[in-house]
Amino acid sequence: MKLIKMTMVVLAIIITFEFFIVANSQGQLKVGFYNQVCPNAESVVTNIVRDAAKSDHRIPPGLLRLHFHDCFVEGCDGSILTDNGNTSEKGAFGHQGLIGFDIIEDAKAKLESLCPGVVSCADIVAMAARDAVAFSHGPVYQVETGRKDGLVSNIDLANRMPDVRDSIQLLKQKFIEKGLNAKDLVILSAAHTIGSTACFFMEERLYNFASRGGPDPSINPRLLPELTSTCPKNGDVGVRLPMDHGSEDTFDIQILQNIRSGFAVLQSDAKLMDDVTTRGIVDSYFGVLAPLTGPSFEADFVTSMIRMGRIGVKTGSNGNIRRLCKSFN
């Protein structure tokens, strides 16, 4: 019991220390940006996310994914939210299956009634993702705010989204393009610890891997029958299955253990073991002394989320505060 308490204290110190380092390196964002101008902003978002998560277990992973997909196109600017016809960014192939738009819009409507024209949709997305992690038993952390909403939403700008079929080299390159590194790739991939994917994204891996036919040989033989049973060839591609085998609704390190053991569901997660750098990062969480002296998965996740949340932040005349998240002013 003493060891558990000591480990939890150490984790809290690590998260606080790492947050302090990254928070002080970004001048245009800050924790508590709305404290004076809209004091209840963060609690409004938290309450709406909590209520939604209680009624639908898909909401937390959906909101976490929404933040990732927003940041990886035009930056964390709420561009994923807009509905401007056939050219909308949200219509891109890589954004299929995204949910949570209504939750963001509900939070925006409430905040507009309290503090008109103050809280950006981009910040609501970031706060909702933080709450999604917390409500999935993940680390509790403070989110930087102060983003403005972007002025562009274009489906063609989403062509560099990370894809489940990408090689590890291409995945690393796409992260580098956003100012992120190999550790961020591993940690943000581990966000798949909650949520599900559709059989649509499994077809190639199960039945025509690398255009050679047959399954991906890296799939553990004990997992393969389960995957093919859930996603049979020529079956319903809309059927969903957990991305974290055996731990769909709980934020935990099991996703990385699954990846190490060949139980990765997504092809892109399995690819983390194809590269010496990313494989070493995954393995670093499972050394004999890792629980005491190794890296903290929870603290590293917080750091990577904060780093991701700074991608392409809009300030000044580069953005504005939308009245509705789904449309430009």
pLDDT for the residue numbered 107:
98
Distance CA 186, CA 209 (A): 22
Q: Is 79 labelled a binding residue? A: yes
Class of domain 26-161+311-318: mainly alpha
pLDDT for the residue numbered 18:
42
pLDDT for the residue numbered 168:
98
Q: Where are the domains positioned within the chain?
A: 26-161+311-318, 168-306
Q: Is 252 labelled a binding residue? A: yes
Distance CA 75, CA 89 (A): 12
pLDDT for the residue numbered 10:
41
Orientation of helix 59-74 relative to helix 121-134, angle to 10°: 140
Q: At the topology level of CATH, where does 168-306 sit?
A: Peroxidase; domain 2 (1.10.420)
pLDDT for the residue numbered 3:
40
Distance CA 220, CA 263 (A): 6
Q: Indicate which residue of 67, 69, 95, 245 is catalytic.
A: 69
pLDDT for the residue numbered 288:
81
pLDDT for the residue numbered 143:
97
To 5 degrees, how large is the angle CA 314–CA 315–CA 317?
A: 105
Distance CA 292, CA 189 (A): 24
pLDDT for the residue numbered 2:
40
This prediction's pTM: 0.89
Cβ partners under 8 Å of residue 221, min gap 6: none
pLDDT for the residue numbered 21:
38
Cβ partners under 8 Å of residue 94, min gap 6: 69, 158, 161, 162, 163
Q: Is 112 labelled a binding residue? A: no
Cβ partners under 8 Å of residue 281, min gap 6: 182, 183, 186, 272
pLDDT string in tens for the chain (329-residue length): 444 444 444 444 444 444 443 333 344 899 999 999 999 999 999 999 999 999 999 999 999 999 999 999 999 999 999 998 899 999 998 898 999 999 999 999 999 999 999 999 999 999 999 999 999 999 999 999 999 999 999 999 999 999 999 999 999 999 999 999 999 999 999 999 999 999 999 999 999 998 888 999 999 999 999 999 999 999 999 999 999 998 888 999 999 999 999 999 999 999 999 999 999 999 999 988 777 787 999 999 999 999 999 999 998 889 999 999 999 99
Q: Is 75 labelled a binding residue? A: yes
* Residues 133 and 161 sit within 8 Å (Cβ to Cβ): no
Q: Is 95 labelled a binding residue? A: no
Cβ partners under 8 Å of residue 172, min gap 6: 182, 185, 275, 277, 278
pLDDT for the residue numbered 291:
77
Q: Is 228 labelled a binding residue? A: no
Determine whether 69 is an active site residue. Answer: yes
pLDDT for the residue numbered 248:
87
Q: Is 230 labelled a binding residue? A: no
Distance CA 85, CA 83 (A): 6
Most distant pair of Cα atoms in the chain: their distance: 60
Q: Is 236 labelled a binding residue? A: no
